[in-house]
Structure 1
Amino acid sequence: MMTSRVPAAVDALLALLRARPALAEVDIVDGPAAVNLTQRRRIHVGWQADGESAVTLEQSFNGAGARTRDEAFAISCYAEARAGDKDMKARRDEVFALVGEVEQALRATNEAPEAPTLNGTVLWAHLTTGDLSQAQAEGSRAGLSFTVTCQARI
């Protein structure tokens, strides 16, 4: 018996991003990085730099009879661009371009009509919030914590 669509949705989001040609040179990470962060462009799914939860969720009965439940959840994500120079504008533009690719991956197209449903795992998914951070330390770094919000029926 299925109790949540969260595991399937996280897996589907990772697959969508890893299959996107524009993100071929970007490290798509499942959760937090466990090793040295040498990759200059990364997107984490199920993790944010200052966050504590990978996914927050809420369920309620869909209607009388308790046969189905509605599930709303938010997948915490984080994109980062870094370089050895001091060009903060370039890092900021780069990190927003990364998140723009995530947003495009979640849009329906002729080639990917099921993208907004994370290939059928949820009713819909979309990018809903973001929080930009910037730092100058041994180069420039821009990070963008963002949330992919989903609605599902179980």
Structure 2
Amino acid sequence: MATSRVPAAVDALLEILRAAPALDGIRIVDGPEAVNLTERQRIYIGWQPSGEMAVSLVQDFNYAGARTRDEDFVISGYIEARGGDKDMALRRNQAFAILAAVEDALRATDLAPEAPTLNGTVLWAHLTAGDLSQQQAEGAIVGINFAVSCRARI
């Protein structure tokens, strides 16, 4: 019996995002990675620039008898859009378009009916929070910290 669904859920989220046609051409990174300024658009799963937690989780028994447990967890993510120009509005629109594609990838479709369950690893998962950051550093940089909240039964 697994003690947590977190590892499988993170792997499934990466798989779903990498297969999403709307995210084609965007680098999807597992955890922190050295910055590559030649890649203008990236999604990090399990990492945020100012955060220390890749995933936060809590567990409890789901009913009397202690045979199974419910696990609630939040997978941290970060989207970045950057360019060598000073066009903040363009980068902000790019970042939110990527966020929309992440949200769409987590919805059930005919081609991906199991997406909201992260391919069966959780009971449900959905995008639940985000924080926007903007800066000018050798061009406009827009980042969005986001959270994918999940519930699993173990």
Percent sequence identity over aligned pairs: 69
Q: Which amino acid aligns with 1:27?
A: R
Q: The residue matched to 1:84 in structure 2 has which SS?
A: coil
Q: Give the aligned partner of residue 122 of structure 2.
A: 122
| CA distance in structure 2 between the aligned counterparts of 1:35 and 1:129, rounded to whole angstroms | 24
Q: The residue matched to 1:51 in structure 2 has which SS?
A: coil
Q: Which amino acid aligns with 2:138?
A: E
Q: For the aligned residues, what is the CA RMSD?
A: 0.8
Q: Give the aligned partner of residue 20 of structure 1.
A: 20
Deviation, structure 1 residue 36? 3.4
Deviation, structure 1 residue 37? 4.0
Structure 2, unaligned stretches of length 5 or more?
Answer: none
Q: Give the aligned partner of residue 111 of structure 1.
A: 111
| CA distance in structure 1 between the aligned counterparts of 2:86 and 2:123, rounded to whole angstroms | 43
Q: The residue matched to 2:10 in structure 1 has which SS?
A: helix
Q: Give the aligned partner of residue 72 of structure 1.
A: 72
Q: Give the aligned partner of residue 135 of structure 2.
A: 135
| CA distance in structure 2 between the aligned counterparts of 1:67 and 1:117, rounded to whole angstroms | 22
Q: Deviations over 1:91-144 (max 9, x none)?
A: 000000011110000001111111100010000000000000000111000000
| CA distance in structure 2 between the aligned counterparts of 1:119 and 1:71, rounded to whole angstroms | 17
TM-score (norm 2): 0.98
| CA distance in structure 2 between the aligned counterparts of 1:49 and 1:35, rounded to whole angstroms | 11
Specify whether residues 37 and 31 from structure 1 end up closer, same or farther in structure 2 by C-alpha distance, changes over 3 A only.
farther
The total of aligned residue pairs comes to: 154
Q: The residue matched to 1:108 in structure 2 has which SS?
A: coil
| CA distance in structure 1 between the aligned counterparts of 2:66 and 2:34, rounded to whole angstroms | 41
